[in-house]
Amino acid sequence: MLFEEVAFYYQKLEAVSSRLTMIDILAGMFGKAKRGEMRPLIYMTQGLLGPPFESLDLGIAEKFAQQAVAAATGFSKEEVVALSRKAGDIGSVAEELAGKTRLRRIRSEKHGISDVFGTMLKIAGTSGQGSQEAKIHLLVSLLSAASPLESRYIIRFALGKLRLGVGDATILEALSKNATGGREAKQALENAYNICGDLGKVGEILAESGVGGAAELKVSLFNPIRPALAERLPTAEEILEKMHGRCAVESKYDGLRAQVHMDRAKKKVEIFSRNLERLTPMLPDIAAAALSEINADKVIIEGEAIAYDEATGEFRPFQETIQRKRKHGIEEKSLSIPLHLFAFDLMYLDGEDYLNKPYHERRAGLESIIGKGGIILPSDRILAEKPGELEKYFEEQVGNGLEGIVAKGLDSPYVAGARKFSWIKLKRSYKGELSDTVDLVIIGYYLGRGQRAEFQFGGLLAAAYDEKKDVFESVTRIGTGFSEEQMKSFKRMLDKIKVSHKPARVDSVVVPDFWVEPTYIVEVRADEITRSPMHACGKDSSGIGYALRFPRIISDGVRKDKSAEDATTTKEIIEMFGQQRKIRVEDK
């Protein structure tokens, strides 16, 4: 498949305003991929060089991209810089200048998708002294033989700014459409994706072995499994009723979710985050403990990494755990804040897939392999049959500085990548406010007026995620509670992902000053959820949706452990609306 064709499809994708059209275009594009091309095609469309847990960074800065465009077209660097400043996008400048190049073009052979992807991989793999020159040279070699349209996308991809607005669910649906003409294969493909976290791999298996091949995919070490998620219910009674009168109740630790993969023979450990990124460099002590404390040869376990002071029995705030994210100073931090992994699940053990085993069996397996080193510990838990027992345990956890509890169905499998009632969370509630915070995705922002004019930032338009439709639906406008620092940093961050029109997967009646590509998640607390015609979230046939009242951001910035599709779902907002009404009625 020629990259020229890919670029043509990308151009079409950029112009669409409906997700269904997007699926048709993608399905058409996937239909053109030849053997071996599906993987690179999918990764490139995601703007990546591999699955998120392996994806390399191209390491090309804007000024080097400008240099490459200049060298490939014969224009001066100053001219390219001036034009880029005006256009705000070097991709379109590369396109324009390729169309009026001052150099003689010898376009002997056109690029295939695999050539472009291969060169991008080479660029990412070039490091050390003189690497910038080498990277530019490789980029110039691509641009010199590229059409104007190809140049647009080569440059945007190289800068990590492809932003076609295509989500994982949309790709899966398009793959299904290409394979079966409809949605018939979607569930099988989604299941495969849930256990390997790699869309390129799913696409490749589908292309080579059909839907049957994808359905047979098994858990494998070092391919992260998409995490099981918890539903919410507001009371112990309702939780036990849903669990048929009996369940396990575990402490809910407010740390960092960590999926640990270990192969003893290879002395290899990898740790993955909630959104399947590599956490291994950030958690060296947990990685070391996996080898020394887990009695197994090959294993995948999951737990919550949290700073815990053994001497005082005190759990430290989430902020302190997350400080580790700063790459520097990890050594010192490992000494000053000892991290522990409170393990709560077992997904794979010595060749055996545990995902479909019931919770009680997975838990027994987990407890049997955790040694005595003390860094990795099983999560604390009880078995509850009466609401009073669950309630008392919950109060104890909150008293210990924890977030609350997660109740787990004793016979339930591990439901990868889905929010199901096999896990139900109950968190500390705040009187008079919504009992839980929500994680919303930013879809736009406003310019500041009055006092805020100097920051050119006046607030955010935020959305929930409708999983079924794969669409981000506006749910609130957040206009208060920002510090000066936050305003500056949001403005800086959002300017980089500004888009000229409403993204195809965004549904919103409200129009912000600027739309942005749904990327960043903020944690928000609100006073209540109300019905409102202003917001698209969960809107019914008369156009009335749900909205958050008096929203404010409660974290310092964005939640880096979540991707746009991990936002609180529309379904959750509607459930929370129902629970809030119930609590009010009970309060009376």
Q: Is 308 in the site for ligand ATP (CB under 6 A)?
A: no
Beta strands at 471-478 and 459-466: parallel, antiparallel or unpaired: antiparallel
Q: Which is nearer to ligand ATP, 141 or 555 (CB)?
A: 555
Beta strands at 247-252 and 381-384: parallel, antiparallel or unpaired: antiparallel
Q: What are phi and psi of 52, to 5 degrees?
A: -55, -30
Q: Is 322 in the site for ligand ATP (CB under 6 A)?
A: no
Choose the stretch contacting ligand ATP; rule: CB under 6 A; options: 30-38, 57-65, 94-102, 252-260: 252-260
10 Å CB burial of residue 430 (0-12, 13-18, 19+) is: exposed
**Out of 257, 268, 552, 571, which residue is the one contacting ligand ATP (CB under 6 A)?**
257
Q: Which is nearer to ligand ATP, 161 or 381 (CB)?
A: 381
Window 171-210: contact mask with ligand ATP (x via CB under 6 A): ----------------------------------------
Q: Which is nearer to ligand ATP, 263 or 380 (CB)?
A: 380
C-beta pairs of 114-118 under 8 Å, 24+ apart in sequence: 114/36, 114/37, 114/40, 115/3, 116/3, 116/6, 116/44, 116/142, 116/150, 116/154, 117/40, 117/43, 117/44, 117/49, 118/40
Choose the stretch contacting ligand ATP; rule: CB under 6 A; options: 161-169, 251-259, 409-417, 459-467: 251-259
Choose the stretch contacting ligand ATP; rule: CB under 6 A; options: 45-53, 250-258, 448-456, 466-474: 250-258
Minimum CB distance to ligand ATP, residue 284 (Å): 20
Site for ligand ATP in 52-81 (CB under 6 A): none
Contacts of 366 by beta carbon, 8 Å cutoff, 6+ apart:
301, 343, 344, 345, 346, 378
| CA–CA distance, 114 with 291 (Å, rounded to integer) | 38
Name the DSSP class of 21.
H
| CA–CA distance, 215 with 185 (Å, rounded to integer) | 9
Name the DSSP class of 564.
G
| CA–CA distance, 487 with 509 (Å, rounded to integer) | 24
Choose the stretch contacting ligand ATP; rule: CB under 6 A; options: 59-67, 224-232, 278-286, 479-487: 224-232
Nearest to 520 by CA among 476, 564, 581, 477: 564
**Out of 67, 379, 412, 579, which residue is the one contacting ligand ATP (CB under 6 A)?**
379
10 Å CB burial of residue 228 (0-12, 13-18, 19+) is: buried
Minimum CB distance to ligand ATP, residue 547 (Å): 21
Minimum CB distance to ligand ATP, residue 242 (Å): 15
Residue found under tokens 């529309």: 570
* Helix or strand holding residue 169 (H, E): helix 168-180
Window 262-291: contact mask with ligand ATP (x via CB under 6 A): ------------x-----------------
Minimum CB distance to ligand ATP, residue 274 (Å): 6
Minimum CB distance to ligand ATP, residue 436 (Å): 7
Nearest to 505 by CA among 266, 173, 228, 52: 173
User: Is 252 marked active-site?
Assistant: yes
Q: Which is nearer to ligand ATP, 131 or 368 (CB)?
A: 368
Q: Specify whether the CB–CB gap between 52 and 276 falls below 8 A.
A: yes
Q: Is 304 in the site for ligand ATP (CB under 6 A)?
A: yes
Name the DSSP class of 373.
S
Site for ligand ATP in 401-420 (CB under 6 A): 406
Helix (H, G, I), strand (E, B) or coil at 560: coil
**Out of 153, 253, 472, 577, which residue is the one contacting ligand ATP (CB under 6 A)?**
253
Minimum CB distance to ligand ATP, residue 287 (Å): 18
Q: Which is nearer to ligand ATP, 185 or 230 (CB)?
A: 230
Choose the stretch contacting ligand ATP; rule: CB under 6 A; options: 64-72, 206-214, 222-230, 530-538: 222-230
Most distant CA pair in the chain, distance: 81
Q: What are phi and psi of 394, to 5 degrees?
A: -55, -50
Q: Specify whether the CB–CB gap between 419 and 229 falls below 8 A.
A: yes
Contacts of 82 by beta carbon, 8 Å cutoff, 6+ apart:
none
What token pair was written down for 36? Answer: 């071996």
Q: Is 344 in the site for ligand ATP (CB under 6 A)?
A: yes
| CA–CA distance, 585 with 583 (Å, rounded to integer) | 5
Q: Is 571 in the site for ligand ATP (CB under 6 A)?
A: no
Window 417-456: contact mask with ligand ATP (x via CB under 6 A): --------x-------------------------------
Q: Is 315 in the site for ligand ATP (CB under 6 A)?
A: no
Choose the stretch contacting ligand ATP; rule: CB under 6 A; options: 138-146, 208-216, 227-235, 478-486: 227-235
| CA–CA distance, 506 with 536 (Å, rounded to integer) | 9
Minimum CB distance to ligand ATP, residue 521 (Å): 10
Q: Specify whether the CB–CB gap between 505 and 443 falls below 8 A.
A: no
| CA–CA distance, 588 with 584 (Å, rounded to integer) | 7
Q: Is 229 in the site for ligand ATP (CB under 6 A)?
A: yes
Q: Which of 135, 252, 357, 427 is catalytic?
A: 252
Q: Specify whether the CB–CB gap between 408 and 247 falls below 8 A.
A: yes
**Out of 204, 250, 277, 293, which residue is the one contacting ligand ATP (CB under 6 A)?**
250
Q: Which is nearer to ligand ATP, 23 or 406 (CB)?
A: 406
Choose the stretch contacting ligand ATP; rule: CB under 6 A; options: 50-58, 160-168, 246-254, 354-362: 246-254
**Out of 23, 230, 370, 475, which residue is the one contacting ligand ATP (CB under 6 A)?**
230
Choose the stretch contacting ligand ATP; rule: CB under 6 A; options: 5-13, 93-101, 223-231, 467-475: 223-231
Q: Which is nearer to ligand ATP, 303 or 512 (CB)?
A: 303
* Interface ranges with ligand ATP (CB under 6 A): 227, 229-230, 250-253, 257, 274, 304, 344, 379, 406, 425
Q: What residues are annotated to the active site?
A: 252
